[in-house]
Structure 1
Amino acid sequence: MDASATANTGHPRRWTILAVLIVSLVVVVLDNTVLNVALKIISDPHHGLGASQSDLEWAINSYTLVFAGLLFTWGVLGDRVGRRKILLLGMVLFGLSSLASAYAQSPGQLIVARSLMGIGGAAILPATLSIISNVFDPRERARAIGIWAGSVGLGVAIGPVLGGVLLEHFWWGSVFLINVPILVFGIIAALLLVPESRDPQPGRIDIAGVLLSIAGLVLLVYGIINGGDHGFGHPAAWGTLLAAVVILVAFVLVERRLRYPALDVKLFGNPRFSGAVASVGLVFFAGMGTLFFIAFYLQLVRAYSPLVTGLLMTPFAAAQLVFAPASAALVRRYGPKLVCAAGMVLVTLALVGFVVVTATSPIWVVAVLFFLQGAGMALVMPPATESIMSTLPREKAGVGSAVGNTIRQVGGAIGVAILGSILSAVYRGGIDGHLGGLPAGASDTARQSISGTYAVAGQLGAPGRSLIAAGNDAFIHAMHWAAAGAVLVGIIGIVVALSWLPRHAAAPGGPKPDVAESLAEEQLELAEA
């Protein structure tokens, strides 16, 4: 047997390098999970910034949209100037903008600082996955990606609990400062251990594509959030959505004509690729949108502290830590199609559970639902990510990483926007009948969100108790509608996984089929089925 066929082509320090990259990834994940437990206090006008629900949605989405819009650019820059350089630059930017977020004095300042964090995060994430693809032998890559994806669970586990501890003892901005020491360690370790790599034939930066994608996504999310606040018949909502559709169509047409596009839309002609990308987007749509309203359910309706809320979210993280590393073996045995479909089924079952949760449901039920959702996401992400990466050659790893992470961020942002808008619209309809007799300003505040209702009730004294009860009832009703919307997305995800994902995993180290070959193979597989 040829020795070159069995020799491991990976870097000698590849597992240590993976540990360093996980540190970088955990910071990005940590930031988002910490924010979930801090939403209530940031909305508090006395101890936080007095942010409205739409402000909070933008605090989340300003990060994710900038992140998603720049992933391709940073991926190409990493391929051109060096992935380690981009990783280090991203960590520096992320650290500085974390400081700015911690000391924001208004919701607007926080939204801007979070946007800057998105720039840094967009540089970090594709660099980590690109470096993994280059330092690991193809035969070990699936296992490494599984561990990489499982580290997301580590960030999810640490973030809410650590954030809860900080919020128990310090001001809300302290949750962003925890990024700084982790980043300092990560920068030093990357300088010492991570090798430089680049694409010998890098693409060009598609400025037009980047600008069109950011503009289209921002307008899309703005229109959704505005529609949730003021109704979709409002010109600012439907007009913005129409403009978003026009810009995104223009983006697709431009990308089809370029030799080095920000997003190679032709890749989506491969069912293996498009099915994997759709699975990632749908599972994060449901996941991020659900976590947004569950944070308010736990801290306001159930009156749990930030620390207890963080602890209640740990089953979600624990499930990812357990199942994500094991998913590679499951894919080898059962194939990406069945593993991803099973994951989407678990996510959907958890979302069905949230549809029937009430203000008095045993809290262990919520913990079990979190565990099911985390396990489902852990079964979807690694095989889907591996399916995306396996369609491209190793030197184009940055492109595959950027596509997967962009769809993940876009799916999460649109999930927060759409489910948040459902929550807002249904809540307003439920609480309106209980605001009679309140001054106009107080009535408007209470109508915005359950946080606003609690703030107004706190100023009313004893009469405010009935308003709090009405707010809780309206929120539970609105949460059920939002969860039902997530269930629908989960069902679509099951159909996508069963219809488009490959039945069998790609052969380790085998040649990567081009789009036409993959399409032919998939059509043959469907015909055989």
Structure 2
Amino acid sequence: MTRTYAPETGTVPWSPLVAACLGAFMLLVDVTIVMVALPGITTDLGMSFTGGQWLLDGYALALAALLLAAGSFADHTGRRKVYLAALAVFALASLACGLAPNGGLLLAARVLQGAAAAAMMATTLALISATYHGRQRGIAFGVWGGVNGAAAAVAPVLGGLLTEHLHWRAIFLVNLPLSLVAAWLTLRGVEESRLPGGARLDRAGMVTFTVAAGALTYGLIEAGQHGWAAGQTLVPLAVAAVALAAFLVAETRGANPMLDLRLFAGRSFSGIMAGAALLMPAAFACLAFTSIWLQQDLRLGPVMAGLALSPMAASSLVVSVASARLLPRLSPRGAVGGGLLLIGAGAFLQGLLGAHSAWTALVPGLVVTGVGVGLAVPALSSAAMAYAPPQRAGMAAGTVNTVRQLGYALGIAGLGILYQDGPEQGMAAYAALNDVYRASAITGIVAGLLVLVAVTPRGRPAAPRA
């Protein structure tokens, strides 16, 4: 039986909420915390540029590929049980990352970390939804959303502090005590919840989607190293195409698809999904290469590199909090579309670097991008649910998170081609980084226009759901 809390009981019971928020904080911090530590990791372990890309992409890809499947599995197996198991695996994978003697083992542990993160992301919101009701549920969702924003703001600076004052291995080992606290609070204050019924898992969809996403990302990364005509590039891209076709067939014909493709028949829903997928490469994927430029070319330490990126996180956090009060009537279409246009403008401003530019040249563009992120990201889940049938609200929310993380993984791979090709063609690092920013700017502007054109001005209002 699930423990619930009525609105009249007073303050929100903290134990279940903190348990869920700790897991969400850890998994989201680990998406980007590696960026600042990347130069130190690749130097210590003798990893190539491609290997460094995979440290970012392996985690994001596992998170994206398994998120929908993990949510479906948890709904039927038990969300508390899956969350506890995911915390244990995440902690063990973090320990393996922190002790990894070489790049291969570190990458394998990062992928395992991402798989556990998928189960954590799929269950944290569901646990809150099942535990709290009425006014307290709204408060709990607000706290959970604030923690999500704080994770993005804290990650670069936290990564810099741990790397510079301890070691890059500390960015992984810090997850161990946090995981133990989250597990203890879950055991102490969270009761089991699951959906009624015994529908089978969509194993065909899980396998084909994972293969398609992994092969596509691998092919893009190999294209940067070997070129588009090389077998190392063409084979995985062909595998991705076949797996994607198989996934579409499986979801169309399966009795219990993890992704109901009929959702995409709605132009507005498809527009929101496109915006979600393109937001990540436009706003976040370029930061990985910015961190490399800051540390390798400007010779900034990890802490200063993290602080140099913080204007974007700070402005996004301020805007996301303020917009709920100052712009309560802003439609999902306006928030997501307008936010993406600002992200594109911010990327364009960042792409004006010269030979003698300091890190401060990035600040105006980072602030503008952060304003766009603060508008668009909080609106994505509610927008996806607003343009989906009520019975598919949970699936819509899971889908938007999936395409966001997949967009990040593909963005790292695609922009990495531009950044890697620059030095090979005799370009200075700042010029190659300008190309990355221009590509991000075009992506953001196209995505914003796409959302504004495809999405209808009004959708069905929807509250957050698991």
State if a TM-score over 0.5 links the two structures. Answer: yes
Matched-pair contact (CA < 8 Å) for 2:341–2:449 = no
Q: Judging changes above 3 Å, is the alpha-carbon distance between structure 1 residues 144 and 378 closer, same or farther for their aligned structure 2 residues?
A: farther
The one of 107, 114, 123 equivalent to 1:118 is 114
Aligned to 2:3: none
Report whether the alignment pairs 1:426 with 2:406.
no
Shift of 1:122: 0.6
Q: Judging changes above 3 Å, is the alpha-carbon distance between structure 1 residues 376 and 148 closer, same or farther for their aligned structure 2 residues?
A: farther
The residue correspondences of 1:354-369 to structure 2 (distance < 5 A) are 354-369=350-365
Matched-pair contact (CA < 8 Å) for 1:126–1:401 = no
Aligned to 1:177: 173
Q: Judging changes above 3 Å, is the alpha-carbon distance between structure 1 residues 380 and 138 closer, same or farther for their aligned structure 2 residues?
A: farther
Shift of 1:75: 0.5
Aligned to 1:247: 243
The residue correspondences of 1:64-103 to structure 2 (distance < 5 A) are 64-103=60-99
Q: Judging changes above 3 Å, is the alpha-carbon distance between structure 1 residues 276 and 146 closer, same or farther for their aligned structure 2 residues?
A: farther
Which structure has the bigger radius of gyration? 1
The residue correspondences of 1:129-528 to structure 2 (distance < 5 A) are 129-135=125-131, 145=141, 147-201=143-197, 203-329=199-325, 332-390=328-386, 398-430=394-426, 474-504=428-458, 506-507=460-461
The residue correspondences of 1:7-46 to structure 2 (distance < 5 A) are 13=12, 17-44=16-43
Q: Judging changes above 3 Å, is the alpha-carbon distance between structure 1 residues 283 and 130 closer, same or farther for their aligned structure 2 residues?
A: same
Matched-pair contact (CA < 8 Å) for 1:419–1:482 = yes
Shift of 1:69: 1.6
Matched-pair contact (CA < 8 Å) for 1:221–1:417 = yes
Q: Deviations over 1:242-275 (max 9, x none)?
A: 2211211221122111121122222111233222
Pairwise CA RMSD of aligned residues? Answer: 2.7
Q: Judging changes above 3 Å, is the alpha-carbon distance between structure 1 residues 271 and 332 closer, same or farther for their aligned structure 2 residues?
A: farther
Matched-pair contact (CA < 8 Å) for 2:35–2:56 = no
Q: Deviations over 1:384-428 (max 9, x none)?
A: 111223456777665334312211110000000000112112321
Aligned to 1:518: none
Question: How far apart are the structure 2 equivalents of 1:113 and 1:13?
Answer: 36
SS of the equivalent of 2:424 reads: helix
Q: Deviations over 1:219-255 (max 9, x none)?
A: 1111111111111121221232122112112211221
Question: How far apart are the structure 2 equivalents of 1:190 and 1:101?
Answer: 24
Q: Judging changes above 3 Å, is the alpha-carbon distance between structure 1 residues 489 and 141 closer, same or farther for their aligned structure 2 residues?
A: farther
Q: Judging changes above 3 Å, is the alpha-carbon distance between structure 1 residues 427 and 264 closer, same or farther for their aligned structure 2 residues?
A: farther
Q: Deviations over 1:360-407 (max 9, x none)?
A: 334333233222222211211121111223456777665334312211
The residue type equivalent to 1:176 in the other structure is F
The residue type equivalent to 2:120 in the other structure is I
Q: Which runs of 5+ in 1 are unaligned?
A: 1-6, 431-472, 512-529
TM-score (norm 1): 0.80
Question: How far apart are the structure 1 equivalents of 2:137 and 2:270?
Answer: 21
Aligned to 1:58: 54
Q: Judging changes above 3 Å, is the alpha-carbon distance between structure 1 residues 14 and 490 closer, same or farther for their aligned structure 2 residues?
A: farther
Q: Which runs of 5+ in 2 are unaligned?
A: 1-5
Matched-pair contact (CA < 8 Å) for 1:228–1:425 = yes
Shift of 1:331: 6.1
Question: How far apart are the structure 2 equivalents of 1:13 and 1:208?
Answer: 41
Question: How far apart are the structure 2 equivalents of 1:154 and 1:77?
Answer: 28
Shift of 1:108: 0.9
SS of the equivalent of 1:163 reads: helix
Between the aligned residues of both structures, percent identity stands at 32
Question: How far apart are the structure 2 equivalents of 1:427 and 1:129?
Answer: 44
SS of the equivalent of 1:261 reads: coil
Shift of 1:491: 1.4
Matched-pair contact (CA < 8 Å) for 1:143–1:325 = no
Q: Judging changes above 3 Å, is the alpha-carbon distance between structure 1 residues 474 and 32 closer, same or farther for their aligned structure 2 residues?
A: same
Question: How far apart are the structure 2 equivalents of 1:143 and 1:496?
Answer: 33
Q: Judging changes above 3 Å, is the alpha-carbon distance between structure 1 residues 173 and 359 closer, same or farther for their aligned structure 2 residues?
A: farther
Question: How far apart are the structure 2 equivalents of 1:209 and 1:509?
Answer: 28
SS of the equivalent of 2:347 reads: helix
Question: How far apart are the structure 1 equivalents of 2:332 and 2:14?
Answer: 25
Question: How far apart are the structure 2 equivalents of 1:185 and 1:510?
Answer: 26
Matched-pair contact (CA < 8 Å) for 1:81–1:198 = yes
Shift of 1:98: 0.2
Q: Judging changes above 3 Å, is the alpha-carbon distance between structure 1 residues 321 and 195 closer, same or farther for their aligned structure 2 residues?
A: farther
Question: How far apart are the structure 1 equivalents of 2:293 and 2:107?
Answer: 23
Question: How far apart are the structure 2 equivalents of 1:138 and 1:494?
Answer: 35
Shift of 1:298: 0.9
Shift of 1:116: 0.6
The range that moved more, 180-189 or 10-19, is 10-19
Q: Judging changes above 3 Å, is the alpha-carbon distance between structure 1 residues 263 and 91 closer, same or farther for their aligned structure 2 residues?
A: same
Matched-pair contact (CA < 8 Å) for 2:68–2:258 = yes
Q: Judging changes above 3 Å, is the alpha-carbon distance between structure 1 residues 56 and 11 closer, same or farther for their aligned structure 2 residues?
A: farther
**Count, aligned residues:** 460
The range that moved more, 145-154 or 53-62, is 145-154
Question: How far apart are the structure 1 equivalents of 2:9 and 2:324?
Answer: 18
SS of the equivalent of 1:198 reads: coil
Question: How far apart are the structure 2 equivalents of 1:510 and 1:244?
Answer: 33
